[in-house]
Structure 1
Amino acid sequence: MDKAELRKRYLAKRKQLSPVEINDLNTALVARFAQIKLEGIGVVHVFYPIPGKIEPDSLRIVNYLREEHPGIRLVLPKSNLDMHTLTHILWTEDTPLAMNRWGITEPEQGEAVDPQSIDLVLIPLLAYDTHGNRVGYGKGFYDRFLASCRPGVVKAGISWFPPEELVTDADPFDVPLDLCIHPKRVIYFRRGNLL
């Protein structure tokens, strides 16, 4: 199935979930994330869920990391909406946050972090396939960002849904996932760089 059809299908699937189902799925995601070994991980890039998109609640994973792995530094992206690029800001509990014109909560200011220093990236996505190809919102922010990271960075998708068989129009410049955190299990696509 192609990306456009997958975007339509998975936006609709999210809207069909009840609040109870969403809560249960988010609880399960944190339990699966807790199974990942984080030895050697010093910097984790996270995303802030967009309310209108009904995204997985990555803030629960952030809370887990802050409680169980306080030595790990968290990084949150700040979008350049005209250039479709991201800068990366160290996210502490004192970092001022604000919503941009696309409804994305991001840092107003803070210490910039070099993408080369990031060890693990948690990636928002709409769909993905059994090969680790991912489908986002189609603007390419994460492809540009991931291309600037060091080769060993671990790229982890977060999804409430199982993988599709194949994204038929994956591009050569699309950066695939190493793993995807799913409510029932962690799905590994590549083990070369993995935790």
Structure 2
Amino acid sequence: MDKKALRKELLIKRENLTEKEILKKSNLITNSIYNSKVYRDAKTIMTYISFKNEVYTHNIIKKSIIENKKIVVPITIPETKELKISQVLDFSELEIGYYNILTPKKEFLRYIDPKDIDLVLVPGVAFDKNGYRIGYGGGYYDRFLDKLRKDAIKIGLAFDLQLIDKVPKDNYDKPVDIIITENEIINCSGKI
């Protein structure tokens, strides 16, 4: 099956989750993140801002700010198909942006260098146990992940139903190092 067909099939599966199921599974995933050494050691964390039925990240953002972590979030630039990143000091600095995803308000843009990031929480539609993912089709994250330091850790957040045997991959696809689901932590890279 090609990426487009897999994306459609898995998005439908995810849409069948109830809000209660999403929050329960997301809490299990979030607790695994908080208990991980990579999270505790990270000073600068990039996370996507969840929307619809993705693994919920709003609480990660809020708690990390309270814990004095430097939290940065992606800003989508559709014209150039790139992600820029901006530091968030408070959740109230966000507003609805492109694709109906929360993004920093213009007056709170604080761009930072991707090389400053220690840990990235990566969204996806599907993941395989080698860390390859199917995103939403824009290639934003694959291009962005190339800009990170070699030692930056990339964690894919997914529900178990998003795990598949093998993601069809292209040369530009970048794997994550770890996948965290509600039931397991998969070390894909052997780096951790």
Distance 2:134 2:79 in 1: 21
Tell me the equivalent position of 1:130: 129
Q: Deviations over 1:21-55 (max 9, x none)?
A: 1221112111221221134311000111123xx21
Instruction: Output the TM-score relative to the length of structure 1.
Output: 0.89
Question: Normalising by the residue count of structure 2, what TM-score does the alignment of the two structures yield?
Answer: 0.91
Structure 1 runs, 4 residues or longer, greater than 6 Å off: none
Alpha-carbon separation, structure 1, partners of 2:131 and 2:47: 19
Answer yes or no: is the 8 Å Cα contact 1:44–1:73 preserved in 2: yes
CA contact (8 A) 2:65 2:90 kept: no
Residue 106 of structure 1, CA deviation: 0.6
Higher helix share: 2
Which residue matches 2:88?
A: 91
**3-state secondary structure, aligned to 1:102:** helix
Q: Deviations over 1:102-146 (max 9, x none)?
A: 211111232111001101000110101121110100101001110
Q: Unaligned 5+ residue runs, structure 1? A: none
Residue 141 of structure 1 pairs with residue 140 of structure 2: yes
Q: CA RMSD in A?
A: 1.6
In structure 2, do the counterparts of structure 1 residues 122 and 180 end up closer, same or farther at CA, with 3 Å as the change threshold? same
Q: Tell me the equivalent position of 2:49.
A: 48
Give the secondary structure class of the aligned counterpart of 2:83.
strand
Q: Any residues of structure 2 matched to 1:149-160 within 5 Å, and which?
A: 149-160=148-159
User: Separation in 2 of the partners of 1:10 and 1:64?
Assistant: 29
- Give 1:14's aligned residue: 14
Aligned twin of 1:61? 60
In structure 2, do the counterparts of structure 1 residues 126 and 41 end up closer, same or farther at CA, with 3 Å as the change threshold? same
Q: What residue is the counterpart of 2:74 in the other structure?
A: 77
| Range that drifts further, 119-128 or 9-18 | 9-18
Separation of aligned partners in 2, 1:92 and 1:98: 14
Q: Which runs of 5+ in 2 are unaligned?
A: none
Give yes or no for contact 1:30–1:64 (8 Å, CA) kept in 2. Answer: no
